[in-house]
Copies of this chain bind each other. A is one copy, B any other.
Amino acid sequence: MANLTPRQTEILQFIEQRLRAEGYPPSQRDIAEHFGFAQNAARDHLQALARKGEIEISPNDARGIRLLREQTPPGLPLLGRIAAGAPITAPSNAEHWLELDPGLFQPRADFLHRVDGDSMIDAGILPGDLVGIHAQSEAENGQIIAACLYEPRGGFERITLKRYRRKGSVVTLHAENPRYEPIVIDLAQPAEDQEAAPFRIAGIMGGLLRTGAPR
């Protein structure tokens, strides 16, 4: 919606910076002085930003600038069942939104996934844990990935945590629990049996959040 000019972006960023640093917005003359132009140029820019919906101006109020499109407080969507076809990171799928710094995880998390079985228990991942997933479509051998598997009964995709291993065209998705069989998929022979049918990597694990003590 808003496509700002580079200059307007600069000015918006300056306002944000001053707000963080000072705790209150700059005056029109503050802006003008910082960029080295006259007050009216600042006023023009503010009006342009207001017209584009980035800010709101309270008439006749000193420093009466309110940021709209607020800086999102760093948070992560908790994704539940994924509607088939929809991109995983689509926030519309979010079950909840947790205020959690994505940078706490390594690599940085793009979304959270709630573990719903004990298949990864030997990797210290318990049912109910929230796993931070860094969205990417490739993985290295031995990494724990969020695998997106198509669920034939129901017509939706679901995310499962597995350890990824690939040898040539054969991908193996291991559970970290001896009671579960690994899923083997031969990429060279697509859609052979039902079990190993459509599969893609949703992302790799970057950490874990457990929101309660284990029983």
> Taking beta carbons and an 8 Å cutoff, which residues of A are in contact with B?
19, 22-25, 27, 58, 61-67, 74, 98-101, 104-106, 121, 123-126, 129, 143-144, 204-214
Do A212 and B105 form a contact, CB below 8 Å, given A24-B25, A121-B124, A125-B124?
A: yes
Bound complex: CA of A74 vs CA of B124, how far in Å? 27
Which residue from chain B places its CB closest to the CB of A142 in the assembled complex?
B215
Which B residues touch A22, using CB under 8 A?
58, 64, 66
Which residue from chain B places its CB closest to the CB of A70 in the assembled complex?
B23
Bound complex: CA of A129 vs CA of B24, how far in Å? 39
Which of B23, B74, B121 is the one whose CB lies under 8 Å from A65? B23
Evaluate contact between B27 and A62: CB separation under 8 angstroms.
yes
Whole-angstrom distance from the CB of A133 to the nearest CB of chain B? 10
Which B residues touch A144, using CB under 8 A?
213-214
| 10 tightest Cβ-Cβ pairs between the two chains A and B | A62-B62, A23-B66, A208-B210, A205-B213, A124-B126, A106-B212, A124-B124, A207-B210, A207-B211, A123-B214
Evaluate contact between B64 and A24: CB separation under 8 angstroms.
yes
Bound complex: CA of A143 vs CA of B214, how far in Å? 8
Which residue from chain B places its CB closest to the CB of A74 in the assembled complex?
B99
Whole-angstrom distance from the CB of A59 to the nearest CB of chain B? 13
Do A206 and B212 form a contact, CB below 8 Å, given A101-B99, A124-B126?
A: yes
Whole-angstrom distance from the CB of A97 to the nearest CB of chain B? 12
Which B residues touch A129, using CB under 8 A?
124, 208
Which B residues touch A63, using CB under 8 A?
24, 62-63
Please name 5 further chain A to chain B contacts, defined as beta carbons within 8 Å, in addition to the given A24-B24, A24-B61, sorted by A numbering.
Answer: A100-B101, A106-B213, A205-B213, A206-B211, A207-B210
Bound complex: CA of A100 vs CA of B130, how far in Å? 14
Evaluate contact between B207 and A65: CB separation under 8 angstroms.
no
